[in-house]
A and B are shown apart, each in its own frame.
Chain A
Amino acid sequence: MASKQSPFRAAHSAGRAIILRGMTFTIALSLCAAALPVRAQIVSATEVADLSGSWISPATNDVLERDEGPFTDDFVGMPLNAAGRALAASYSAGMLAEPQRVCQLYDQWHYSNSVFNIRIWPQTGGPTGAIQAWKLQPTEDNGGMTIWMDGRSPPSKYANHLRGAFTTGHWKGDMLIATTTGMKRAPARDNGAFHSDESTMTSTFIPHDDMLTIVYVLHDPVYMTQPYMYSRAYVKSVTRPIGTKYPPCTVNYEGTPQGDVPYFPPGKNPLMHQMMQYFHVPEYASAGGADTMYPAFRNRLKAQYLKTYSSFPKKCTQYCTNFRFAQPVGNLPQPVESPAAKSGRRKAK
């Protein structure tokens, strides 16, 4: 029979055997591939959430701090130590007129404590177009944040600290956890409560449906006794990309003579009573400290605060709302009834 087999048929049989072996190998390989939980394949495919987009910060949370800025003596809830508190009490905003301090507000921590919208996008590169970094740009001021995802090493601890600092990130589930080092000394709150240049900052980006929650934690071994933590919710903009209002801070001359350092000597700051004036918060609370962060602190406040509450004005006159006609507009007193509305009411009576 074999002799009758045509050369074509013999070649066909040999080819079939090769194909069969190839198919068997392919099937075996496929089965292995399908059965194994190949974690190496998933890192870039499924453990990464897409954070890109324009994120709007609603002016509904922590509005005193983020909208108009905090009062000069508002350190409530800050885990300041004695050195941090003393430094904060000596702060004069006139310091910002010094050329070397004009831009001191705008470090990486700053965009967490104002009502900044944020634009986020991936920076890609290399032959595969892999994500090398996530870029963040808040509505205004600082140069944004670059979160390096390519495993690069941080600069030496002896390197010059820059406003942009240095940030690396990694994923945990859909959360992007970014760690910032090499920070400059800057206000942790705009009223002069500083963090030191030994601070590190952790930002955790947590996507939820059409929202993004960012948890910011500042660790400062110099001026704080515990981590200082904010969490902020952002809503995805579906209408238009957000832009930046202002260029990055630039150093210029604002009239302060060279060598002058505006400050208040200990106990001489005349602005250390605003929290009592506007919110009836006693100085031992407005001075901050870790104990002011916890519910038990209310026990200390209760008797004195309730005793004076009956003497509070029955109508709020200052810093009562940041909304007018459904739009956030800054701190305003309650709207005053218009004459027409008043006359209309009289007629109704």
Chain B
Amino acid sequence: MMRNFVLNSTVQVTLVLLVSLGAQTVAHAQGRRGPGGPAPTAEAAAPVDFTGYWESVVQDEDWEYRMVTPRPGDYAGVPLKPAGMQIMNAWNPAKDTAAGEQCKSYGAPAIMRVPEHLHITWQDGQTLKMETDAGQQTRLLHFVPSVGAAQGPRTWQGYSVAQWQFQGRTGRFGTGAPTWGNLKVSTSDLKAGYLRKNGIPYSENAGLVEYFDLVQVPPESNGHWWMVVTSVVTDPVYLSSPFVTDDNFMKLSSAAGWQPSACSAMW
């Protein structure tokens, strides 16, 4: 009898613990949702805030290929296949302009490398909108992908699916509310374009994965917020290995410096 009692008590304790932890897990997995409430939007669940105005800061990082139009035939740093070299060597900006394709170097695999300003806002609770002044492009980052949307026409910015990557979760099993996070974006359905202004190509089969992070400079001392974008472009047609780059943006307090300009095939 005593053995049964002890057994029962142990089972009860275990059950209570499991129920309690389970409730904690569910509550945290729901983000800020209250019991029985609607699922939180991506905006409500955001562990960090990317909204606002941002400015490219090009501190040497491929300055010669970003701040000016690269030399014809220069593809340093790009693991270009021979098929890609043929395209690059045939680059003709006047022809691109005449064909109405002067935005070829402003597609998603290249746009974060263009010296520019960004304006990031929430289009709705599940879609982050990223506008550029250079080339006047708009990227939509979908946290809830529409069914069949990715089968639409190919565009310079393609179709981007976004997800938060939560960090620093609380709770003894790491299931609690996150204290930090970053954004991961996967883009497909691209229209073929250029990785660099001088005609280094990517094909419509290219894929793009990006990680957006926030860091404070100097850290933890009310310094400037910076956004660091790590990009991985893969292309089975023109690239022999992934093209991996990092780009930095500094947060601005206003729209000052925002200078919309049309796409240019030459500059």
Contact = CB atoms under 8 A, between A and B. Distances in A.
Nearest to A219: B218
Contact of B243 (A60, A173, A211): A60
Nearest to A41: B172
Interface in B242-266: 242-248, 257, 259, 266
A21 to B, nearest CB: 11
Interface string A224-244: 000111111101000000000
For B63, B117, B179, the residue with the greatest tally of chain A CB atoms inside 10 Å of its CB is B63
Contacts of A5: none
Interface string A127-168: 000000000000000000000000000000000000000000
B51 interface: no
B99 interface: no
Contacts of A61: 61-62, 77, 244-246
Classify chain A's interface size: 35 or more
Contacts of A171: 168
B59 A233 contact: no
A38 B2 contact: no
Contacts of A306: 69, 266-267
A206 interface: yes
A211 B218 CA distance: 24
A39 B169 CA distance: 10
Classify chain B's interface size: 35 or more
Contacts of B168: 46-47, 171-174
A268 B187 CA distance: 51
A91 B116 CA distance: 33
B123 interface: no
B136 interface: no
Nearest to A56: B244
B27 to A, nearest CB: 11
Interface of A: 12, 15-16, 19-20, 23, 26-27, 30-31, 34-35, 37-39, 41-42, 45-47, 49, 58-65, 70, 74, 76-79, 171-175, 177, 179, 189, 202, 204, 206, 208-209, 211, 213, 215, 217, 219, 227-233, 235, 279-281, 285, 292-298, 301-302, 305-306, 309, 312-316, 319-323, 326, 328, 331, 334
